[in-house]
Amino acid sequence: MSDETMLRTSAYNGDRDEYISTYTPSLLDSIPRMKQRSALGITEEALPFRGMDVWNAYEFTWLNGRGKPEIALAQFHIPAKSVNIIESKALKLYLGSYSNTKFANRAEVISTLESDLTLAAQAPVSVTFVSEEQSQIEGLAGLMGQSLDHLEVDIDDYYWNPDFLVVESNTIVRETLFTHLFRSLCPMTGQPDFASIQIQYNGQSISQQGLLKYLISFREHAEFAEQVVERIFVDLMNRCAPDRLNVQARFTRRGGIDINPYRSHESDMGADIRVWRQ
């Protein structure tokens, strides 16, 4: 056995995922939203928010009709009112199945993605390819508002605790606050999910120290990214009752994919930016 063969053999020992490189839509895994939403008191008939889940796939490739590889930064918009969320590892494997599959043109790739993802989400999903030029022009951006990360807080509670959320005064304010310190856990794998969280609200002044401690308390909490944002939205409404509320999370990449859920009283999703850790 050659040294190269031995090296490959040792690399393949142990458990590993089977990556399929020919188009296989059955790899997609749908998870109903309502199980988690019902635990938060949310009914399908009266969602307390509007919103979108925006996925960015940075490692997407396929073959053109001549067998030459093509690449794209693929962006998927899944409405918050969809019946299902799409599990991220399953999405990664599904996108990987395009890598050695021939398509006549980009339009065929986009229509195939939209058809499969719409079926999985049970709501219309739109797909766009972001060009290299567009990506370079947009570049990285910072979150608007005031950072909470400079606040000195003592905390040793790393399991979701909404008791930290308190109204500080009756003064009516309009604030945009954010943190880069957020971490939760994937409920499927137990791996950490890191994110920047931005909260915009109009209403009675919310304790900033309490808000930061609340967001840090998700550190050992296992929940899908979309569900985390909905939990934050509902907790803030229940505990602090703002007149208007927007909650946005920008999660870092895992497997070449990031997710950016947005829940709001507003119909406008706001600026879709890429922050420094994405």
What domains can be seen in the chain, in order of their start residue? 16-138 (3.30.1130.10), 146-264 (3.30.1130.10)
- The pLDDT tens digits of the residues spanning 60-114 come to 999 999 999 999 999 999 999 999 999 999 999 999 999 999 999 999 999 999 9
Q: Point out the residues that are catalytic.
A: 186, 193
Compute how many other C-beta atoms are within 10 angstroms of the C-beta atom of residue 126: 15
Indicate the SS3 state at residue 88: helix
Residue range 226-247: mean pLDDT, rounded:
98
- The model's pTM: 0.91
Distance CA 174, CA 245 (A): 10
CA-wise closest residue to 72 among 44, 39, 40, 95: 95
Over residues 106-162, the pLDDT tens digits come to 999 999 999 999 999 999 999 999 988 888 888 889 999 999 999 999 999 999 999
> What is the Cα–Cα distance from 110 to 120, expressed in whole angstroms?
15
For residue 25, the 8-state DSSP code is G
Rounded to a whole number, what is the distance in angstroms from the first to the last CA of the chain? Answer: 42
Element (DSSP H or E) covering residue 257: strand 257-264
- The answer to whether 237 and 40 have CB atoms below 8 angstroms apart is no
Cα–Cα dist 83/122, whole Å: 5
CA dist., res. 127 & res. 74, Å (int) = 7
Q: What is the mean pLDDT of the chain?
A: 92
What would the two tokens of residue 63 be?
A: 């073959």
